[in-house]
Chains A and B, each alone.
Chain A
Amino acid sequence: DQQVKQNSPSLSVQEGRISILNCDYTNSMFDYFLWYKKYPAEGPTFLISISSIKDKNEDGRFTVFLNKSAKHLSLHIVPSQPGDSAVYFCAASAWTNAGKSTFGDGTTLTVKP
């Protein structure tokens, strides 16, 4: 049973347009959600997070939206740049769970010049 799902394995967008990456979760105990970015042959890098008490968090070109009732979150990148091309992982954790996160399978974003 996969508790965090990223249903789109890949996404391709044009430079300058918006990229929207989606993530769904099933465990209602999750109260903290994160996005990581990963380049080939490197470890993931923390990008942005959101607590369940919020529905939006913004950091520069990156915005994460959380819809708790739908158990859905999304990452918006505006405007998209070729350097954003990477694998994006969604992750979720619960305060009571010793900092452990459950990861989705990732979405490969390609931003075309």
Chain B
Amino acid sequence: SQTIHQWPATLVQPVGSPLSLECTVEGTSNPNLYWYRQAAGRGLQLLFYSVGIGQISSEVPQNLSASRPQDRQFILSSKKLLLSDSGFYLCAWSQQGGNQPQHFGDGTRLSIL
């Protein structure tokens, strides 16, 4: 069966520090991969998605970047965190093709001080 791992579960970082959140998927190949951010009381905002290695699409301009160095690995990064980067970050995968459900990791709660 397929599983998705996302870490760390919580992270506290100072303003201006770098960020690296990692997500890996097991049990499937060539998945679509997604990074979301959820603000308190709001829905999921899609930040990045990837349909293959090295293929990244950004949905909103921001202080973050994403990379997909391997088929089942998706990394969310920042060179210098801002206060506004605080939030709950979720990684997800889906099968290739349209109209497939997404499967989420347990998320990372990021607090910027």
Contacts and interface: CB of A to CB of B under 8 A. Distances in A.
B105 interface: yes
Contact of A98 (B44, B98, B104, B109): B98
Contact of B102 (A6, A46, A105): A46
A44 B88 CA distance: 12
A44 B44 contact: yes
A70 B32 CA distance: 31
A31 interface: yes
Contacts, number: 70
B100 A99 contact: yes
A49 B100 CA distance: 9
A98 B9 CA distance: 28
Given A98-B32, A98-B51, A105-B41, A46 B101 contact: yes
Contacts of B44: 44, 89, 103
B99 A95 contact: yes
A69 interface: no
Contacts of A101: 46, 102
Given A98-B32, A99-B97, A46 B103 contact: yes
Interface of B: 6, 9, 32, 34, 41-44, 46, 49, 51, 57, 59, 90, 92, 94-107, 109
